[in-house]
Amino acid sequence: MPVITVEAMPMTTDAKRELVATLTHDASRIMQVPETSIYVFIRENPFDDIGVAGKLLSDIKKENASKK
């Protein structure tokens, strides 16, 4: 049963593969449930759809890029 949802930024498929395998293994061991019962959902949120400290993450990234 446990269901793990990860609200994330865009990620590579390899990173998703490793994240699913690792978080499932961790949760199975700690929560003492079989891996086969665990679902993981990865939410790739576009930078425009994420707000941090009142700003869009896309705007924060543009600001940081312009400071370099």
Residues that bind a second copy (CB under 8 A): 1-9, 11, 13, 15-28, 30-31, 35-36, 38-45, 48-59
Identify which of residues 5 and 67 has a Cβ nearer to a second copy in the complex: 5
d(CA 34, CA 64): 43
How far is CA 48 from each of CA 11, 12, 41, 44, rounded to the nearest angstrom? 15, 18, 20, 11
- Nearest distance from residue 12's CB to a second copy, in Å? 10
- Nearest distance from residue 63's CB to a second copy, in Å? 13
